[in-house]
Amino acid sequence: MRFSAFVRGVALLCGLGLIPGSQAQAGPFDGGWTLDGAASSIAFQSIKDQTKVELNSFAALEGAIDAGGTATVTVHLESVDTKIDLRNVRMRFLFFETFLYPEATITAQIDPSAIADLAETRRKTIPMPFTLDLHGVTKAYEADVTVTLLDADRVFVNSAQPISIPVADFGMESGLTKLEEAAGLPIIPSATVSFEFAFTRNGATAATPVQLAAAPANRALESSGDFAPEECRNRFQTMSEANEISFASGSTRLQASSAPVLDSLVEIITRCPGLTIGISGHTDNVGSDEANQRLSERRAASVADYLVGKGIPANRFETAGYGETRPIADNATDRGRWRNRRIDFTILGG
């Protein structure tokens, strides 16, 4: 028995490239490793109203460790999972702005000397510098991670303790404010993140490919095909809350920055067949009532024209302008006026 265990131990060391004379002599990363998406997870905890804790996760991850020890994990932000469809949609459009930034990327350079004794210890905690690319910003962090060697072809890496990520590090304060306004509650401006990553050596067991739509029944992820009526309502409501359709001051010409969210709107309308959509324009109280009324009507018409140009039939929507008569915020503040200058979307029938 002792000799058999010795043989298995030697085979394990050789497979990891930690002793000479094996095909993996180039090192522990020789041949590369692939993230097993089904066995991996990233979760983040947020706090609303000072005490209400919510645990969220991402359903779609992919990644690898290359032969040089560079580990990369890509997070598909549209797979954010709060277990509630409306929250998911708000997270995508209001906070992460996935129509502009669909992915986040974690990158780390693993020092082979830090895991040189892993075949003996089988489990150890090491400091791991890494970078997070999110929302167009890259930040450097360091966290303690626990590395567990399951066998010669499988390794498990998890955060030793939650990692605090401030919203301000990635310039996402505006998105957080939108979430607060939509929920009607204050939200702590940071999240604690934890992860569990399972890697399989290339050439061994194939890792699970990323699947954006596949999910267990207890998750509230984006469905495929046509949306259900409630899903349509959630999306049109959130598009209104996002307020990402912008015009030059006093103009009815859509700014180029509006194109990504309008293109997302095209997809939503396409996946909500049979519904008639109301597009309404609104303004703040700066200027005369008559001028604001005309401006709101023409801006709503500009959005309709964009949708027609993208192939949506004109009979799918109706436009209206309400000028300054339907404020949703205080016109005495810059933020309030910005919220009042908006395009709203509603379901009129279908």
What angle separates helix 173-183 from helix 229-242, to the nearest 10 degrees? 130
Distance CA(73)–CA(84), nearest Å, equals: 25
Query: In the CATH hierarchy, which top-level class contains the domain 229-349?
Result: alpha beta
State phi, psi for 241 to the nearest 5 degrees: -65, -30
Closest CA to 243 of 104, 97, 101, 135: 97
Closest CA to 235 of 276, 260, 269: 269
Predicted local distance difference test score (pLDDT) of residue 350: 77
Chunked into runs of 10 residues, the chain (350 residues) has average pLDDT values of 40 43 58 94 94 94 95 96 95 97 97 91 96 98 96 93 97 97 96 96 67 50 87 96 91 94 96 96 96 97 97 97 97 95 94
Q: What is the phi-psi region of residue 303: left when phi exceeds 0, alpha when psi lies from -120 to 50, beta otherwise?
A: alpha
User: What are 168's two structure tokens?
Assistant: 């301000």
Distance CA(239)–CA(343), nearest Å, equals: 9
Predicted local distance difference test score (pLDDT) of residue 246: 93
Closest CA to 343 of 270, 236, 259: 236
User: What are 319's two structure tokens?
Assistant: 């436009």
Predicted local distance difference test score (pLDDT) of residue 248: 84
In DSSP terms, 171 is beta-bridged to none
Predicted local distance difference test score (pLDDT) of residue 206: 54
Predicted local distance difference test score (pLDDT) of residue 56: 96
Q: What is the dihedral of CA 318, 326, 343, 298, to 10 degrees?
A: 60
Q: Which fold has domain 31-201?
A: Lipocalin (2.40.128)
Distance CA(36)–CA(199), nearest Å, equals: 6
All structural domains of the chain with their residue ranges: 31-201, 229-349
